[in-house]
Structure 1
Amino acid sequence: MAWIYWAPDPGGAGFTRPWRAAQYKNQTLVFLDRRMTPSQAEAIATAVMQPDDRRAEIAARQQEEMQQLQRQRKAVAIGMVGMAAGALIAYQSGLPWVKGLLYGGVPTFFIAKVWLDRRALRG
């Protein structure tokens, strides 16, 4: 615990305070005005940089979400190729091209999604 006290100014011009005050959202924050030694800074940096279980869980979850997003993007790309193929086939056969987009894109997307997810589960 640090003690906050009034200390005489070494220059003899009166008294100084060993803390600084700052305003943040209508609250006064008080900081001790002391310098950190290199060993204290090293100890804090080491404690902050050491991995812990919570950080590892968060990193694993973010990695899993990123891989899921990549699989979704691949499935959408394959679905768009299916849409283009369906529109081309619909145009060739005289059907409305919108039906061709839907008949080609939707099944292709779902097939690609299932295939990519199963492939990811197998490893």
Structure 2
Amino acid sequence: MADDEKLRAQERMHAQKVRSLMKSIATLRDKVATLTAESKDHRRSGQIQALKGKVREAELASDVLKAELRDRLGMTAEEVADFVVRKTVGGPKRFRPKTREELELQVSSLEKRVRAL
């Protein structure tokens, strides 16, 4: 009888240890899942920052080239914008957003109309 009680007590203790170990395994799995998700987000944000840097570099190069056109050829900002639009917009007509140069031309024409009033 004492042996049966000892055996049951050991079984209860074993079951309790197994439950606690299973709980800790589940919490560790959850932590691993959250850490992998965070690392993916971190990697993605790094890629976005790198792409933003490349866009900034391209815009800087474009601005430098426009300034050179103005300085060396004596073109106005509107002429440079018109030149860039003519060179970049080619091919079939399709829906496309307006370029920065087209928007600059539109702003300058609207400013002229406002001044004329």
TM-score normalized with structure 1 length: 0.37
TM-score normalized with structure 2 length: 0.39
Query: Who wins on radius of gyration, i.e. which is larger?
Result: 2
Greater per-residue strand proportion: 1
